[in-house]
Structure 1
Amino acid sequence: MPNNRFHALREVLNREIPEIKAPSTKISDYFGANVFDKHKMKEYLSSEAYAGIVNSIEHGETIPRDLAEQVAAAMRSWAMSKGATHYTHWFQPLTGSTAEKHDAFFEPTADGGAIERFSGDALAQQEPDASSFPSGGIRNTFEARGYTAWDPSSPAFVIARTLCIPTVFVSYTGEALDYKVPLLKALSVLDKAAVDVCHYFDKSIEKVNASLGIEQEYFLVDTALFNARPDLYLTGRTLFGHISAKNQQLEDHYFGSIPSRVYAFMQDMETEALQLGIPLKTRHNEVAPSQFECAPVYEEINLAIDHNQLLMDIMDRVAARHNFKVLLHEKPYAGINGSGKHNNWSLITNTGKNLLSPGKTPKNNLQFLTFFVNTIKAVHEHADLLRASVASVNNDHRLGANEAPPAIISIFLGSQLTEVLDEIDTSRLSKKIKEENSLWQGIPKIPQILKDNTDRNRTSPFAFTGNKFELRAVGSSANSASPMTILNLIVADQLKKFKVDVDKLIKKGEKKDVALMMVIKRYIKESRNIRFEGNGYSDEWEKEAEIRGLANVKTTPKALDALVTDKAAELFAETGVFTQREAHARHEILLDSFYKKLQIEARVIGELVQNTIIPAAVEYQSKLITNVKGLKDIGLEQTAYAAQLDIISRISTHLNFIKTNVDEMVTERKKANAIEDIRERAISYDEKVKSYFAPIRYHVDKLEQLVDNNIWPLPKLRELLFSK
């Protein structure tokens, strides 16, 4: 009988491509159809109520109770017109995924009837069980009260007949228990700091928004094959599997023709996403086989992150309809590229100016230099925090490997801007401005940098790409709120310090533009070591980075130390983004998640080896032994079955190694579990328990090459990667 793998493959080959049903051939006809955006508000609210809610959203003011009641009534009417029967507060706890608890609009009446009702109180606040979510000790089991509170800056939407209301999640005592609260605080601090600095150039600027475009990479695998791999569905990655003879070495998958079945999934997924207001613009094949990418148009950062979290959920649900499983793990397959989530970040004023885009006038170029250099300086000062913000057990497989930005945080600017900064650094600043177009002697006017006027460096974790910075180190499964909170707060802190430095010089009698350039020049010199234009994958860069004093923290438990340093505590206190208790709670939560995921992987390795791998190898070995005995019994010389004897011996060698090392790994796991300190426990899992993973895998993969294909119990990487 053929094994499950071939049943699964037949399912793939015989499956019909689902029919694609878009509401219209024009995306503009249905974009945002399931979102309670400003257009819907204007339709369902009175003009006074609409003006009030828009004012509250744009200026961050508290929404009055009577206005909340009107919005709730309008939101319910609109949602019910879309078929909604329930509502939920949709939030982002520290589990890394989204959460929701559904309540019906339906309420029974005293006369035995029923009515649909949704109050302003229900819109504004709910009370989920806080103790059941990660809190890092902030909430105990017997202190379960927590609150979700409406975030009106992110519009409500309808999905699966449920009105979803984006919310924050806080404890009874007010501490943040989610990713959104710190992000909103960081954005508020950045807005004020950036506006204050903008007033050196333009007094009419009233608000600065951080914008974000998130490129999402992912793999697709057939559901039947996914279900036949316990390691995939329990851990998100293949813990065993010999590299496919053909993988990505021909570089023929990148930007190649999209397979028809995948194309059907993409169109279906995009249709749902576009109806939910997610402005997906790009889709293509990525580098590795069965790897793909989608990317939206830039949005305000809070909304962009909400949309990315929603998109990952949509991808998973739509994939199921197409008998696919979406793999968002950063490294689902060994030997080929993993997946990231490139975060493209910039700053936009309420007047429509991109602060990271140079202009045609000296004033615009000086403004660009101000925000450009302050961002570089911020990353230089707090590279450890940025590294910590992208740290996870999954991402450790990518960072530092020759496929993704290294664990060393550096900044790539491109040759043109590097030359500009070097000239500013080495030239003498003119205190007397003789010409309108020149602020310093010997420096030409900065050319207007167009969108694609800088080269790309795929090895850089933080690269300037024309009018934005691209943080490439974020993992594909991560919530971008974590690194974006850190990036925005460190830039905000740096801009505040910049203003203090500039104002001091102005008070001493320096002209404003000269004072600005004097501080910029100093910052360029102080942050020079973070700038690197070469190959971030090279051994030479590791040595040079060490000389420069740049950290190279390759594993999560030690990278997370940055969250609880005195320097971080001072930064968090000054910006108000995290209390000390919140920072320490996040540190503990991330360490807890790290070691538990390794614990699960270790247990899966043990179970698969004992219950699946060893029995299959022994079965094949027994067949060979029977064959050898038969050949010997009929009088053949040993040379006739030397090959069989060699395979039998090699199988035994691999089996003995695997069994011995699994037993030792289990012993180390038990020792690690007994360690009280969570950081030391995480380090023990990382340095001791995980150290067995690769050697065990090596010998299992050798068995895979020896054992009869019909007996080997797991779908092979070639099947997972190329059956679609």
Structure 2
Amino acid sequence: MVNIPEIFAENVFNENVMRDKLPKEVFKKLMKTIDLGEPLDVSIANVVANAMKDWAVEKGATHYTHWFQPMTGITAEKHDSFITPTAGGKVIMSFGGKELIQGEPDASSFPSGGLRATFEARGYTAWDPSSYAFVKDGTLYIPTAFCSYTGEALDKKTPLLRSMDAISKQACRVMKLFGKDVKRVTTTVGPEQEYFLVDKKYYDQRKDLIFTGRTLFGAMSPKGQEMEDHYFGTIKPRIAAFMADLDVELWKYGLLAKTKHNEVAPAQHEVAPIFSTTNIATDNNQLLMDIAKKVALKHGMVCLLHEKPFDGVNGSGKHNNWSMSTDMGENLLNPGKDPKDNAQFMLILTAVITAVDKYAKLMRLSVASAGNDHRLGANEAPPAIVSVFLGDELERVVRDIIDGGESAVGGQAKIELGVTTLPVFPKDNTDRNRTSPFAFTGNRFEFRMPGSSQSIGCINMMLNTAVADVFKDFADELEGAEDFQKALNALIKRELTAHQRVIFNGNGYDDSWIEEAEKRGLPNLRSTPEALAAYDEFVDLFEETGVLSEAELKSRQEILLDEYAKTIAIESRTMVDMSKKDILPAVSSYVKELSDIACNKKTLGLNADLEIKQIERLSALASDAYDKTAALEEVIAGAADVEGAQNAANYEHETVIPAMDALRAVADEMEVNTAEKYWPFPAYDKLLFGI
């Protein structure tokens, strides 16, 4: 029996460990940096480093690494041992403040989007003391930021930390308007993680899963998710054993794994944590994905984090539950029970609605990826159109403010913010809308568009920045108001009126919403190349908030466009390889068997019409597949002539993907007409139901 309180965070150098291991004054100084965002006092670095090393060595660590999140979307690490040579050929275990605060990995082999030339190799990692260090697999992991020799951010953490500072600064100004002396406002996130599990023996037989993370070929099995019997269904013993081990491993690293269940699609599951500070939640989610893959392997399975591993069933997302809390513990998205809190809540709510509408394209491009394009708007995830769900009661309050009418809730008092009582919103008072990209769920917003494999660092950086910008505008206007209450009421009514188009409580899956959204003027960026082209519109936003320079922003656009083009290129080349080396030879072998049977039947004077019909059908399909494979090869070769990252991404989307789809359609039809023993790799029935 696992003693959860005893093992929880046993591998983490957290506040309790620091309080025990550090001198009292050193601990206080470090906690000011962690809790209030104050600059790190470098004079304490040596003491912290030595205590961290001693604790790690007690845990069996022999090395340390600066653990960072480059623009690849995954994590990176270089391991150095604690050993230092001494006289007489001996060594001691040492670790100093300089080694803790700063590292120097090679920056030339990571994506930089033109910020650094290949020969400009120097880069730095800088300790993020607000995210706890931990011991894993004999190494002390130190969460860090990653920047170039000239100071540009080369990672996902640095801009996230900047955005957290930006939103905190502006939110504190807003809170002062209501007489609250808040020193820091922290964004918090609870990212729900969806994933698939498949048997490793089947995974190992699929080049497409190995190279791309998704099945590029595959006819749907006779049964999918249409019976709706998998969601919240009984968990199979093998999956339950994996989940139990995963929970234990996550708890050891201080991850607040709370919920686990079967998801909608066969072989699909979810793990959800309790919320935590955004940068910690980001680090923890990266750790969760890594641990889930390793634990799955121990159980003879592979954890698939691709957004759409299987065509015909739901893909996987990562629901980003986002809120804001003050250093006094107040959740700014909690409507509260006291009338005096209503105006504050309505101003915060108005700011978020304004930000989501004003920067809808930014919200969309924050989740843009080749994998996520497969699920957005596919009747399984929110559409690519960004909208806000409020629920009936809260929307009614918003409509009353806009219309200047009577409140239909909390009595018939006229809406006068700060006087009229809003309805009490317990956590379950607003309905959940699975089709909404950005849904208010009682005391937070659930951003449902992120893909399952994506880092939430970039997503929350953009959300924080957008809201920070609106907070600044609101604070600028209200700080100088002669009559604060009158100015507040006018601002909220004006902004809600201007941005009400983004509020939508209906079915986002319905085709009528696409037409309605177009009438409202809401952007619908259906593909990643189209979404990433919008980066140019946000240079001023990021420079003015101090989150990204123009060069840093442009580099991210370049990196993501390049990543998209390379992803499709790898997928298309894999399809050609599988078609030529596996599928076409397999069909030929089956046709040969059919031909032999037909010949033998005719020799015996028997009717061979069945075999002949099968031979004719498969031969025609194989010929078509051969032609479509050649056509795909031709467009793949054409990509070499395309110049520029945006043009390359556009080419892959507009030219290569249609050729891939055409080949897959023929190949999948061949699969259902070929004997199972001849088909060269496991079919969907084994992948989805084989555990």
> Normalising to structure 1: TM-score of the pair?
0.93
Tell me the secondary structure at the aligned position of residue 13 of structure 2: coil
**Equivalent residue, structure 1, for 2:466:** 490
Tell me the secondary structure at the aligned position of residue 714 of structure 1: coil
**Equivalent residue, structure 2, for 1:112:** 89
- For 1:327 and 1:606, the matched residues in 2 are separated by 23
* 2:358 pairs with 1:358: no
Tell me the secondary structure at the aligned position of residue 335 of structure 2: coil
Contact 1:428/1:440, CA 8 A, preserved across alignment: no
Match of 2:46 among 69, 75, 78: 69
Tell me the secondary structure at the aligned position of residue 111 of structure 1: helix
Contact 1:400/1:537, CA 8 A, preserved across alignment: yes
Q: What is the CA distance between 1:205 and its match in structure 2?
A: 2.1
Contact 1:88/1:103, CA 8 A, preserved across alignment: yes
- For 2:24 and 2:418, the matched residues in 1 are separated by 58
Note the 1:244-259 alignment, pairs <5 A: 244-259=221-236
Q: Cα deviation per residue 1:130-185 (whole Å; 9 max; x = unaligned)?
A: 01000001111110000000000001000001000000000001000000000000
Q: What is the CA distance between 1:438 and its match in structure 2?
A: 6.4
Contact 1:219/1:292, CA 8 A, preserved across alignment: yes
Q: 1:63 to 1:359 in 2, by over 3 A?
A: closer
* 2:191 pairs with 1:214: yes
Match of 1:239 among 207, 216, 220: 216
**Equivalent residue, structure 1, for 2:247:** 270
- For 1:447 and 1:429, the matched residues in 2 are separated by 14
- For 2:338 and 2:20, the matched residues in 1 are separated by 43
**Equivalent residue, structure 2, for 1:676:** 643
* 2:149 pairs with 1:179: no
Query: What is the aligned-residue identity percentage?
Result: 47
Match of 2:425 among 449, 471, 476: 449
Question: Number of matched residues?
Answer: 687
* 2:316 pairs with 1:344: no
**Equivalent residue, structure 2, for 1:583:** 553
**Equivalent residue, structure 1, for 2:507:** 535
**Equivalent residue, structure 2, for 1:98:** 75
* 2:54 pairs with 1:82: no
**Equivalent residue, structure 2, for 1:17:** none
**Equivalent residue, structure 2, for 1:546:** 518
Match of 2:658 among 691, 709, 719: 691
- For 1:485 and 1:54, the matched residues in 2 are separated by 23
- One-letter amino acid matched to 2:116: R
- One-letter amino acid matched to 2:499: S
Q: What is the CA distance between 1:204 and its match in structure 2?
A: 2.9
Q: What is the CA distance between 1:129 and its match in structure 2?
A: 0.7
Q: Larger deviation: 193-202 or 605-614?
A: 193-202
Contact 1:231/1:238, CA 8 A, preserved across alignment: yes
Match of 1:572 among 529, 542, 562: 542
- For 2:162 and 2:179, the matched residues in 1 are separated by 25
- For 1:576 and 1:661, the matched residues in 2 are separated by 50
Q: Cα deviation per residue 1:674-702 (whole Å; 9 max; x = unaligned)?
A: 21111111101111011012221111111
Tell me the secondary structure at the aligned position of residue 167 of structure 2: helix
Note the 1:325-474 alignment, pairs <5 A: 325-427=302-404, 440=416, 445-474=421-450
- For 1:693 and 1:534, the matched residues in 2 are separated by 34
Q: Cα deviation per residue 1:461-488 (whole Å; 9 max; x = unaligned)?
A: 1111111100000000000011100100
- For 2:266 and 2:474, the matched residues in 1 are separated by 47
- For 1:147 and 1:81, the matched residues in 2 are separated by 28
Tell me the secondary structure at the aligned position of residue 216 of structure 1: strand
Contact 1:89/1:167, CA 8 A, preserved across alignment: yes
Tell me the secondary structure at the aligned position of residue 271 of structure 1: helix
- For 2:12 and 2:554, the matched residues in 1 are separated by 37
Tell me the secondary structure at the aligned position of residue 196 of structure 2: strand
Q: What is the CA distance between 1:429 and its match in structure 2?
A: 11
- One-letter amino acid matched to 2:657: K
Contact 1:69/1:121, CA 8 A, preserved across alignment: yes
**Equivalent residue, structure 1, for 2:569:** 599
- For 2:654 and 2:325, the matched residues in 1 are separated by 44
Q: What is the CA distance between 1:56 and its match in structure 2?
A: 2.4
Q: Cα deviation per residue 1:481-525 (whole Å; 9 max; x = unaligned)?
A: 111001001000001001122234x1xx3x212211110000110
**Equivalent residue, structure 1, for 2:114:** 137
- For 1:520 and 1:111, the matched residues in 2 are separated by 74
Tell me the secondary structure at the aligned position of residue 449 of structure 1: coil
Tell me the secondary structure at the aligned position of residue 688 of structure 1: helix
Q: What is the CA distance between 1:362 and its match in structure 2?
A: 2.1
Tell me the secondary structure at the aligned position of residue 108 of structure 2: helix
- For 2:202 and 2:687, the matched residues in 1 are separated by 7
Q: What is the CA distance between 1:442 and its match in structure 2?
A: 14
The alignment's C-alpha RMSD in Å is 1.6
Contact 2:401/2:415, CA 8 A, preserved across alignment: no
**Equivalent residue, structure 2, for 1:7:** none
Q: 1:128 to 1:645 in 2, by over 3 A?
A: same
Gaps of 5+ in 1: 1-23
- For 1:284 and 1:214, the matched residues in 2 are separated by 15
Note the 1:191-230 alignment, pairs <5 A: 191-230=168-207
- For 1:78 and 1:34, the matched residues in 2 are separated by 10
Contact 2:405/2:414, CA 8 A, preserved across alignment: no
Q: Larger deviation: 105-114 or 165-174?
A: 105-114
* 2:684 pairs with 1:711: no
**Equivalent residue, structure 2, for 1:13:** none
Q: What is the CA distance between 1:443 and its match in structure 2?
A: 9.7
* 2:601 pairs with 1:631: yes
- For 1:56 and 1:207, the matched residues in 2 are separated by 11
- For 1:538 and 1:401, the matched residues in 2 are separated by 11
- For 2:667 and 2:42, the matched residues in 1 are separated by 63
Q: 1:440 to 1:653 in 2, by over 3 A?
A: same
**Equivalent residue, structure 2, for 1:14:** none
Match of 2:165 among 155, 180, 188: 188
Contact 1:248/1:287, CA 8 A, preserved across alignment: yes
- For 2:337 and 2:238, the matched residues in 1 are separated by 48
Tell me the secondary structure at the aligned position of residue 378 of structure 1: helix
- For 1:353 and 1:104, the matched residues in 2 are separated by 43
**Equivalent residue, structure 2, for 1:307:** 284
- One-letter amino acid matched to 2:152: E
- One-letter amino acid matched to 1:281: K
Q: 1:662 to 1:53 in 2, by over 3 A?
A: same
Tell me the secondary structure at the aligned position of residue 132 of structure 1: coil
Contact 2:50/2:96, CA 8 A, preserved across alignment: yes
Q: What is the CA distance between 1:66 and its match in structure 2?
A: 3.1
- For 2:656 and 2:302, the matched residues in 1 are separated by 29
Gaps of 5+ in 2: none
Q: 1:61 to 1:336 in 2, by over 3 A?
A: same
Q: What is the CA distance between 1:439 and its match in structure 2?
A: 5.7
Contact 2:36/2:184, CA 8 A, preserved across alignment: no
- For 1:355 and 1:578, the matched residues in 2 are separated by 26
Q: Larger deviation: 197-206 or 238-247?
A: 197-206
- For 1:390 and 1:442, the matched residues in 2 are separated by 37
Q: Cα deviation per residue 1:253-277 (whole Å; 9 max; x = unaligned)?
A: 1111111111111111111110100
Q: What is the CA distance between 1:712 and its match in structure 2?
A: 1.0
Q: Cα deviation per residue 1:12-51 (whole Å; 9 max; x = unaligned)?
A: xxxxxxxxxxxx6331111111000111111111112111
Q: 1:163 to 1:442 in 2, by over 3 A?
A: closer
Note the 1:289-300 alignment, pairs <5 A: 289-300=266-277
* 2:669 pairs with 1:722: no
Q: What is the CA distance between 1:445 and its match in structure 2?
A: 2.7
**Equivalent residue, structure 2, for 1:316:** 293
